[in-house]
Amino acid sequence: MANRRSVLEQMRTAIEEVNADVVCVQEVSGINSLSTTASSQFEFLAERIWPHHAYGKNATYSKGHHGNAILSRYPIVDWHNLNLTTYRFEKRGLLHVKLQISENIFVHILNVHLDLFDFSRSKQALKIRDYIKKNIHDDQPVVLCGDFNDWQKTMSTFFAKEVNLQEVFFLSTGKHALTFPAIKPILPLDRIYYTNLKLVEHQTLHKSPWHKLSDHIALTASFII
């Protein structure tokens, strides 16, 4: 707690150095006492590079709230925060934004954080499937990413079969990326799924300072539309 300012500033610098067009973060606070210009942690992370951002509030408590956020270089033309909460002790959600890449090209980004328990995650996966089928046409580019807490590794088969979403690491190497705990990853909890895009490269950000900035290893992927 005493190092909160330093870690947040280091996190912003590290994310900026990746120079990504889109950044998805989970469990980010919707308030921020560390910046005189930004009113939230996600705005603090975004303020120097990403002019467009959306925030989906999931959990509230006496001193604030947190949820998922998406930072983008591209305009956000539509967004929605889907409530995935299955019981009151774990407030979860899926944040969906529609990005306008050019005049006629749009990409859907979905940022999610799922429950710790398998039976809850199964319900959430079904809800995500139904949401995608209802709201996104099957020929549109989609990226679904975040913390799936899927240590049993069942989600990739489900999403591939149900909505044609492939996981970048599993598709390329036959294995999911190990992302937790960051100091010595042994569990594959975080994923990047995609469809109707061409995968160019992917990597885990496991070297310093990344393993000191979060308890999860960050993942990146590059695509061509």
- pLDDT (0 to 100) of residue 39: 74
Domain count, the chain: 1
Distance CA 57, CA 62 (A): 14
Distance CA 34, CA 219 (A): 26
Q: Render pLDDT for 196-215 as a digit per residue (tens, 0 to 9).
A: 999 999 999 999 999 999 99
Domain that holds residue 116: 4-224
Q: How far is CA 166 from CA 13, 17, 122, 175, 214, in A?
A: 30, 27, 18, 12, 25
- pLDDT (0 to 100) of residue 147: 98
CATH number, domain of 156, equals 3.60.10.10
> What's the distance, CA 192 to chain centroid?
8
- pLDDT (0 to 100) of residue 36: 52
- pLDDT (0 to 100) of residue 2: 46
- pLDDT (0 to 100) of residue 65: 79
- pLDDT (0 to 100) of residue 4: 54
CA angle 203, 93, 53 (to 5 degrees): 65
